[in-house]
């Protein structure tokens, strides 16, 4: 009959939206609190303690999917590389090249020196606490 099947017969474009992803293991929260966002807007992923988001932001695409490859937020265990030995540092243990978030490196100084920080704690962001610079003081007797 030559008519268009749409009810009002005029083409429309609507803004794409994405539903809020479900919480997965080690994910503490996803914001905003709304159940969906518009295309171009983002969901922010917050991880549980000692974990970091694989993708801290998930962007809503025009096709209704979010930008991460599998569309589900993931949080992975944070790790820290072993700090390099510096002047007057005899050793840093454990011997492994990295530790998990929340674990510690123990610092042992050379003779006549004491570590300013005997333990360095691995943070979730891959940095080690008290590691602005490993400083050592000479022992005074």
What does the pLDDT read at residue 33? Answer: 93
Band of pLDDT at residue 7, cut at 50, 70 and 90 = low
What does the pLDDT read at residue 97? Answer: 92
Residue 98, φ and ψ in degrees, nearest 5: -155, 160
> What percentage of the chain carries pLDDT values higher than 70?
82
What does the pLDDT read at residue 131? Answer: 47
How many whole angstroms separate alpha carbon 54 and alpha carbon 27?
10
How many whole angstroms separate alpha carbon 114 and alpha carbon 118?
8
pLDDT tens-digit readout, 61-114? 888 888 765 567 888 888 999 988 888 899 999 999 999 988 999 999 998 988
The whole-model pTM stands at: 0.60
What does the pLDDT read at residue 45? Answer: 92
Maximal C-alpha separation, the chain: 104
What does the pLDDT read at residue 14? Answer: 74
Provide CB contacts within 8 A for 50, sequence distance 6+: 77, 78, 100, 101, 102, 124
What does the pLDDT read at residue 16? Answer: 86
In terms of pLDDT, which residue wins out, 135 or 48?
Answer: 48
**Gap between the terminal Cα atoms of the chain:** 104
Average pLDDT score, the chain:
82
């Amino acid at each position: 009959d030559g008519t268009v099947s749409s009810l009002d017969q005029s083409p429309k474009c609507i803004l794409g939206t994405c539903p809020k992803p479900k919480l997965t293991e080690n994910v503490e929260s996803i914001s905003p609190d709304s159940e969906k966002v518009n295309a171009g807007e983002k969901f922010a992923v917050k991880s549980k303690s000692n974990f970091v988001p694989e993708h801290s932001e998930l962007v809503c695409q025009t096709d209704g999917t979010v930008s991460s490859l599998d569309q589900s937020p993931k949080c992975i265990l944070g790790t820290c590389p072993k700090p390099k030995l510096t002047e007057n540092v005899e050793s840093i243990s454990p011997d492994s090249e990295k530790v998990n978030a929340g674990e510690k490196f123990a610092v042992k100084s050379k003779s006549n020196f004491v570590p300013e920080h005997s333990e360095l704690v691995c943070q979730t962001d891959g940095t080690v606490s008290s590691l602005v610079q490993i400083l050592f003081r000479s022992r005074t007797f």
